[in-house]
Amino acid sequence: MKTNVHVRKELLFRAYLLLFVIHTTQTGVGIIGLPRVVFLETEQDSWIVILLSGIVVSLSVAAIVMTMRQYSSADLYGIHVDIFKKWLGNLLNIIYIVYLIYMLNVIALNYTELVQAWIFQTLPNFILVSMLMALSVYGVLGGIRVVVGVCFIGFFISILDCIYYLHSHAKLISFALLSYGGSQCERILQWYY
């Protein structure tokens, strides 16, 4: 297997667009349910868990960057085979593919749960998952540039959502910032909700 891969020109995109891809993949449906999942697992408000997982992710990214500096234009599968040789490298590749399929299933079910909770309560799961998979396949068959374009648009939609949220809660935020103490904030939040 060739370790260094020469990518076709139509599969390339500008480096700054990677920011939008990373943002969109990190702030998908998981960000909506994160507080609930953390609370269910720890049974308390666990900010330290999020802080520690951020440190672990940062260390993982540092290890990935150091490994990628040694390979100029290699893909993950070629790096596995090069570092761990044929059998163990291919086994790691298979484990990675199974992990990606599992995560695809988790994300699809989370989207289905979200849509069923807010819009279509009685629609069966398989119809929603089928529609989501059809959209995903359509986007992937369009090429990487279509996927990057959707991520680019999704980034700005999420920014507009944040602006709308801040604007709709501006009265509460400004009132809480001008209050005298923590007890005032609790009283204001109780009044607001």
Could you report the per-residue pLDDT of 130-170, keeping only the tens digit for each?
Answer: 888 898 888 888 888 888 988 899 899 888 887 887 777 66
Cβ atoms of 3 and 81 within 8 Å: the answer is yes
pTM of the model: 0.67
The CA radius of gyration of the chain, in Å to the nearest whole number, is 22
Average pLDDT of span 71-84: 84
Could you report the per-residue pLDDT of 161-180, keeping only the tens digit for each?
Answer: 878 877 776 666 665 555 55
Residues 6+ apart with CB under 8 A from 89: 77, 80, 81, 82, 83
Q: CA 56 to CA 60: how far, in whole Å?
A: 6
Residue reference for tokens 């999704």 = 154
Instruction: State residue 177's pLDDT score.
Output: 59
Q: Produce one character per residue of 84-100: b if its CB has 16 or more CB atoms within 10 Å, e if not.
A: eeeeebeebbeeeeeee
Tokens of 44: 């308390």
pLDDT confidence band for 99 (50 / 70 / 90)? very high
Count CB-CB contacts under 10 A for residue 24.
19
Mean pLDDT over each residue of the chain, to the nearest integer: 80
Count CB-CB contacts under 10 A for residue 81.
20
Q: CA 30 to CA 164: how far, in whole Å?
A: 20
pLDDT confidence band for 91 (50 / 70 / 90)? very high
